[in-house]
Amino acid sequence: MTTETVEYIRYRIPEDRSAEFLSAYTHAATQLAAAPQCVDYELARCEEDFEHFVLRITWTSTEDHLEGFRKSELFPDFLAEIRPYIENIEEMRHYKPTTVRGRGAAVPTLFAWAGGAEAFGRLTTVFYEKVLADDLLAPVFAGLAPEHAEHVALWLAEVFGGPAAYSETQGGHGHMVAKHLGRGITEPQRRRWVNLIQDAADEAGLPTDAEFRSAFLAYVEWGTRLAVHFSGPDAKPPAEQPVPKWNWGAAPPYQG
């Protein structure tokens, strides 16, 4: 489970001080943005009662917040900005995220936008036909199991927000990574893989809008670079992890 923690600070600020309060936090946020212990932050104002504000800060851990940020050179400047409003704090606590989380349907998943399971099935069918006919990649996939394309379709579908069929039938991220251990994938092979799956996406009729393709390519680049890393001679299998979930935004840098 993640070590990240979410700190909530609830303020009650009189209406006549709200402008200066917002100005103070605009300046204080500079210190949060520079803190390596801070993942993200947001100050929200109540719609029903304008005097109520909630500051949400996600920290890499509670210890990183208390022993890292609060003892760093950034904290004095942060505190100087918000000190006049400490007396207005009604709650200040750390909360650990639970497994109850998800996204609503206001924005479709990449899986749904692509056309669902059928679209990813078409994609991998076309893609592996190209792979097996390619002089650079065919040796890497020699002896390819008949169900390989189907399994990769399940993987991609789950990554892009579809059902957890890969996790339920094959395993998590570690299972996929294990398939690359010791294969010695080269950079030219990785680049060819990237190019062929983009060609396959065109032929399989996946959406061509800029937003979908940029997210699709971002995952392909991320995934293939990890494949090269874990196929190297000194690579060690990672701890078991869930299948990564890709959305319309960007992923944080891999630091494993």
> Which residue ranges form the domains of the chain, and what is each CATH number?
5-95 (3.30.70.100), 110-230 (1.10.490.10)
Helix (H) or strand (E) holding 5: strand 5-12
| Ranges 25-29, 40-44, 143-147, 214-218: which has the least confidence | 143-147
**C-alpha–C-alpha distance, residues 73 and 205, integer Å:** 53
Which pLDDT belongs to residue 107?
A: 85
Which pLDDT belongs to residue 250?
A: 59
Q: Mind listing the pLDDT tens digit for each residue in 193-224?
A: 999 999 999 999 999 998 999 999 999 999 99
Which pLDDT belongs to residue 149?
A: 94
Query: Per the annotation, does 175 bind a ligand?
Result: yes
Torsional sign, CA 41, 106, 111, 102? positive
Residue 252 has pLDDT above 70, yes or no: no
Phi-psi category of 116—alpha, beta or left, where left has phi over 0 and alpha has psi -120 to 50? left
Q: Mind listing the pLDDT tens digit for each residue in 74-99?
A: 999 999 999 999 999 999 999 998 88
Average pLDDT in the chain? 92
Band of residue 182 on the pLDDT scale cut at 50, 70, 90: confident
Which pLDDT belongs to residue 255?
A: 53
Tally the C-alpha atoms within 13 A of residue 93's C-alpha that lie toward its C-beta: 5
Which pLDDT belongs to residue 104?
A: 83
| Mean pLDDT, residues 14-27 taken together | 97
- Asked if 191 and 182 count as a contact pair (C-beta separation under 8 A), the reply is no
Please state the pTM of the whole predicted model. Answer: 0.72
Band of residue 256 on the pLDDT scale cut at 50, 70, 90: low
Which pLDDT belongs to residue 157?
A: 97
User: What residues have CB less than 8 Å from 64, skipping those under 6 apart?
Assistant: 37
